Structure 1
Amino acid sequence: MRITQREKWAAVPVFLLLVLLFLRRSLLVAFLALKILGYPSALDAWKGAVRHETVEHGGIPIDIYTGDHAYSPLLIVHGVNPTGKNSLDLVRISEALAQVGYQVFVPDFVEMRRQHLQPEEAAHIKAVFQFIGKNAAIACFSYGCGPAMIAAADADIRDHVRFALAFGGYFDIRETLEFVVTGPETSIAYLKWVYLGANSDLVADETDRARLRTLAEHRGSESPLEADAPEKLSPEAKALLAIFSASTPEDFRTRLDAGPENLRRRLDALSPSKFVQQLRAPLILIHGINDPVIPAQQTIEFAEAARANGLSYSLTLLRMYGHVNPLLPKVGLTSLLSFYIPETFRFLEVVNRVVAVM
């Protein structure tokens, strides 16, 4: 069939429209990526400010970010840190996602702000999801990904989760805790004492709980402590302390198996590895290759379990991130060719995926 000259010219506007749409999408993804990395000017100039309001549901404060065109709801679960939903990085990312078309809901979980991670958080996340009132996506960071992914697997909401995104999360918290407790002495080695203090509530006696918290605070800050402080603990409290004092992975597992059963139950109840078969949502899994807090192997194992269970998923490992913050080398010819160019394409690919599933 021969195409006439008129038909050729008629196709030009369609072609130009497609080119413009492609360029617009490319710019949107690039500007979104820049704002996520801490360079907001381009996206702010294009999309303007978003509306920000705070509501409360079931005693949980929820920040809602809405842009001019809110197409798709997204629930973001913050990590275990004192700033919670008010983390400057999280606020910037929430604004950016609202600017490109998400309506973003960011709840504040009090216990997670106190650096206490408990199985009950999954029910709180589920409650916020149900408050949104329609199909939504769930995104999470760091240790917040445990309860977030468990909530996404809940039978009451799992068929309504459009996708689940985990950045720097864990899959099995026993393995993660083993890494933190027995890993090399680094600037984040104090975390094991944070976890000891957070789990001191598992000990029956209140005096023991207070002594464990005091001991954890002193060891975490490397400040002096009474030499006989551990000896004042009950056998139950000593068994808990012994777990967090293990020096090798084998020692950790032995002490955990011999330690308080309620700790083992808590760890299992906080591990997505125990719930992955119940997940239904497509997964977007992202992790910094050199993460010093939660090993990238955790997300690799999550991806392997997703594949084994027939879940749709993508896995992106980034050299440009440590834990959940960028780690960028000095710009030079070598780093430009070996790091910045390939990492830019890798990062833009995952940002484009987040926009595409909106």
Structure 2
Amino acid sequence: MDTKNRDTGTGTKARYMRRRILARTLALALFLLGLSCSLIPWGRAALRTTFLIPAFIMSSQPAPLQIAGEPITHITQTINSRSGPAYLDLFVPTTQPLDAGTRQGVLLIPGAGDHRKLPELLNFAEAIARTGVVVMAMTTPTLIQSSISVDDTDAVVQAFQTLSRRPELRGQRSGIIAFSAGVPLACFGAADARIRDQVAFVVNFGGYFNTWTTLRAFGYRSLAFDGLKEPWEPIPFAVQVLGNMLIPTLASFEERETLREALLDGATPLSEQELQRLSPEARAIYRLLTGRSPHTVEADIAILPPETRQQIDALSPQRVLPELKAPVYLVHDRHDTALPFTESRDFAKALDKLHHPYDYLEVQIFNHVEVRPDFSTLQLLSDGSTLAFLLTKILHSGGL
């Protein structure tokens, strides 16, 4: 009896000790995991990725990020550039970081249109900021008016320098993430001698590489790749944006207004009689933008006026490729109907030829740069995992 009680007591004590050891071991493991995620670059990048992928794909911040993420403040600011004002939205963590008191920064450049109050952009910017990164979203009057101007390069440089001067960064390099029409501006800015050594990375999502090949895709209404030819129909808004880039180069005010009105979504196409009243140059631009005459694409390109040709050359990211120093990460929707996915493929091939560090990812769950509402579970698992790996690599390369 006494022996049995002693044995039972000894067994209970042993089990208790094992549980204590197991609990302490688990606590130590969790502590080390948290420490690695906070201090080790790859761990920190991976931790941020686990928060950002759901925010990016689902357009909402995951509950753990809302609960455990850093508190942030939203600051609006207007700065001056050579082309006019640049409008900035800053999302700044308000707590003191544990590691040396420094933070990293990201400059976001959205596409054409006014996206300053777009829920998806705000959600993404806030999600990044809650992981401890200072985020700045920028736009310009030209972008807001659904166009692109090479003159806005200085606005990108000024915005990047404003971000770099934030006291939270203390000289740390920052990355640039651009979407759609923001991609050429990101490339022009990142190649500028004033900031190119401070740019940690450039992410181009759904952009274009060469304005000439983009224009040809609009004119032919088809894409050529890997020896294949695939029909392609751009959305009306993409036609309008490309039109806003080219139409101002026409000399005649009346022709500029005629083409702008004719390219509005739902507008009645110009009749043959109306076309014949236009100059050959205006007719060529209209046919190229609308895909009305695929068999005359090359002839139409050949008669474009010098001002239009200069504009097309100036707006091609390809021209600044030799000046880029930061690694470039390309992401494109395989079935993009705003800008051809072949543009990012061409971008990747050019980077590869120059032995410039880059990654290229084609995805299926996006409609241009917005998440499709009808993606399948298989597509989500496939694209989600590859996006997570790429995002971790991007964050790590930028020291985020």
Give TM-score scaled by structure 1 length.
Answer: 0.85
Using the alignment, how far apart are the partners of 2:208 and 2:345 within structure 1? Answer: 10
Query: CA contact under 8 A between 1:190 and 1:221: conserved in structure 2?
Result: no
Per-residue Cα deviation, 1:18-68 (whole angstroms, up to 9, x for no partner): 333457755542222111221314211221542001111102221111113
Match of 1:346 among 386, 389, 395: 386
222-231 or 173-182, which moves further after superposition? 222-231
Per-residue Cα deviation, 1:259-307 (whole angstroms, up to 9, x for no partner): 1122121111111111111110111221122222222221122122222
Shift of 1:241: 2.5
Judged with a 3 Å threshold, the aligned counterparts in structure 2 of structure 1 residues 19 and 160 are, in CA distance, closer, same or farther, namely closer
Using the alignment, how far apart are the partners of 1:343 and 1:230 within structure 2? Answer: 45
Query: CA contact under 8 A between 1:168 and 1:288: conserved in structure 2?
Result: yes
Equivalence for 2:257 = 210
Q: Which residue type is aligned with residue 144 of structure 2?
A: R
Q: Which residue type is aligned with residue 175 of structure 2?
A: A
1:91 aligns with 2:122: yes
Q: Which has the larger radius of gyration?
A: 2
Equivalence for 2:186 = 148
Equivalence for 1:116 = 147
Q: Which residue type is aligned with residue 69 of structure 2?
A: K
238-247 or 21-30, which moves further after superposition? 21-30
Equivalence for 1:39 = 60
Judged with a 3 Å threshold, the aligned counterparts in structure 2 of structure 1 residues 290 and 223 are, in CA distance, closer, same or farther, namely same
Using the alignment, how far apart are the partners of 1:271 and 1:147 within structure 2? Answer: 10
Judged with a 3 Å threshold, the aligned counterparts in structure 2 of structure 1 residues 41 and 242 are, in CA distance, closer, same or farther, namely closer
Shift of 1:247: 4.6
| Identity level (%) | 24
Structure 2 SS opposite 1:170: coil
Per-residue Cα deviation, 1:61-105 (whole angstroms, up to 9, x for no partner): 211111134711211111012x23332211111111111122111
Judged with a 3 Å threshold, the aligned counterparts in structure 2 of structure 1 residues 224 and 303 are, in CA distance, closer, same or farther, namely closer
Q: Which residue type is aligned with residue 371 of structure 2?
A: P
**In the comparison of the two structures, how many residue pairs are matched?**
341
Query: CA contact under 8 A between 2:280 and 2:303: conserved in structure 1?
Result: no
146-155 or 184-193, which moves further after superposition? 184-193
Query: CA contact under 8 A between 1:84 and 1:112: conserved in structure 2?
Result: no
1:322 aligns with 2:367: yes
Equivalence for 2:105 = 73
Shift of 1:140: 0.3
Judged with a 3 Å threshold, the aligned counterparts in structure 2 of structure 1 residues 321 and 245 are, in CA distance, closer, same or farther, namely closer
Judged with a 3 Å threshold, the aligned counterparts in structure 2 of structure 1 residues 126 and 298 are, in CA distance, closer, same or farther, namely same
Using the alignment, how far apart are the partners of 2:379 and 2:259 within structure 1? Answer: 45
Aligned positions of 1:177-192 closer than 5 A: 177-183=215-221, 184=231, 186=233, 188-189=235-236, 191-192=238-239
Match of 1:311 among 322, 335, 356: 356
Query: CA contact under 8 A between 1:181 and 1:192: conserved in structure 2?
Result: no
Match of 1:61 among 87, 90, 95: 87
Structure 2 SS opposite 1:254: helix
List alignment gaps of at least 5 residues for structure 1.
1-11
Aligned positions of 1:16-27 closer than 5 A: 17-21=31-35, 25=44
Structure 2 SS opposite 1:79: coil
Query: CA contact under 8 A between 1:136 and 1:160: conserved in structure 2?
Result: yes
Query: CA contact under 8 A between 1:32 and 1:97: conserved in structure 2?
Result: yes
Equivalence for 2:339 = 294
Q: Which residue type is aligned with residue 51 of structure 1?
A: T
Query: CA contact under 8 A between 2:103 and 2:133: conserved in structure 1?
Result: yes
Match of 1:277 among 322, 339, 343: 322
Using the alignment, how far apart are the partners of 1:179 and 1:224 within structure 2? Answer: 20
1:104 aligns with 2:135: yes
Query: CA contact under 8 A between 1:76 and 1:105: conserved in structure 2?
Result: yes
Using the alignment, how far apart are the partners of 2:218 and 2:336 within structure 1? Answer: 12
RMSD value, Cα: 2.8
Structure 1 SS opposite 2:331: strand
Equivalence for 1:159 = 197
Shift of 1:147: 1.7
Query: CA contact under 8 A between 1:243 and 1:259: conserved in structure 2?
Result: no
Using the alignment, how far apart are the partners of 2:241 and 2:384 within structure 1? Answer: 35
Shift of 1:149: 0.6
Equivalence for 1:168 = 206
Structure 2 SS opposite 1:86: coil
Using the alignment, how far apart are the partners of 1:185 and 1:304 within structure 2? Answer: 21
Query: CA contact under 8 A between 1:28 and 1:100: conserved in structure 2?
Result: yes
Using the alignment, how far apart are the partners of 2:287 and 2:379 within structure 1? Answer: 42
Using the alignment, how far apart are the partners of 1:21 and 1:342 within structure 2? Answer: 29
Structure 2 SS opposite 1:212: helix
1:265 aligns with 2:285: no
Query: CA contact under 8 A between 2:112 and 2:241: conserved in structure 1?
Result: no
Using the alignment, how far apart are the partners of 2:389 and 2:295 within structure 1? Answer: 39
Using the alignment, how far apart are the partners of 1:300 and 1:75 within structure 2? Answer: 24
Q: Which residue type is aligned with residue 49 of structure 2?
A: V
Query: CA contact under 8 A between 2:262 and 2:268: conserved in structure 1?
Result: no
Shift of 1:130: 2.5
Judged with a 3 Å threshold, the aligned counterparts in structure 2 of structure 1 residues 48 and 103 are, in CA distance, closer, same or farther, namely closer
Shift of 1:244: 2.6
